[in-house]
Amino acid sequence: MRGSWQEQFAESPGVLKSSDCAQTMVRILDLEIGGGEFVTMAGPCSVETEFQLMATAHHVRRCGARILRGGAFKPRSSPYSFQGHGVEGLKMLARARKESGLAIVTEVMSECDVSLVAEYADILQIGTRNMENYSLLEAAARSGRPVLLKRGMMATIADLLRSAQLILDNGNPNVILCERGIRTFETATRNTFDVTAIPLLKQVSHLPVIADPSHAAGCRELVPALARIAVAAGADGLLIEVHPHPEKAWSDGDQSLDFADFEGMMDSLDPYIALREAEVKDAPATRSLEAVG
Strands 24-28, 31-33: pairing is antiparallel
Domain-embedded: residue 13: no
Asked, for residue 19, whether it belongs to a domain, the answer is: no
Average of pLDDT values for 162-190? 97
pLDDT digits (tens, 9 = 90+) for 242-257: 999 999 999 889 999 9
Percentage of residues of the chain with pLDDT beyond 90: 83
| 56 found inside a domain | yes
Domain that holds residue 261: 24-289
202 is a domain residue: yes
Q: What is the mean pLDDT of residues 189-193?
A: 95
Res 289: pLDDT? 45
Global model pTM greater than 0.85: yes
Mean pLDDT of 114-140: 97
**Average pLDDT score over residue span 133-154:** 97
Q: 10 near 202, Cβ under 8 Å?
A: no
CATH code, domain carrying 176:
3.20.20.70
Which H or E run contains 95?
helix 87-100
Predicted pLDDT of residue 78: 61
| CB neighbourhood size of 71 (10 A) | 29
Report the domain count for the chain.
1
Strands (E), the chain: 24-28, 31-33, 39-43, 67-69, 103-107, 123-126, 147-150, 175-179, 209-211, 237-241, 287-289
Q: Is residue 75 part of a domain?
A: yes
Instruction: Report, as an integer, the average pLDDT of 14-41.
Output: 93
Is the residue at 12 inside a domain? Answer: no
As a whole number, mean pLDDT of residues 32-61 equals 96
In a domain, 267, yes or no: yes
pLDDT at 34: 95
Mean pLDDT for the chain overall: 92
Distance, C-alpha 23 to centroid of its chain? 17
Per-residue model confidence (pLDDT) at position 76: 54
Q: Is the residue at 128 inside a domain?
A: yes
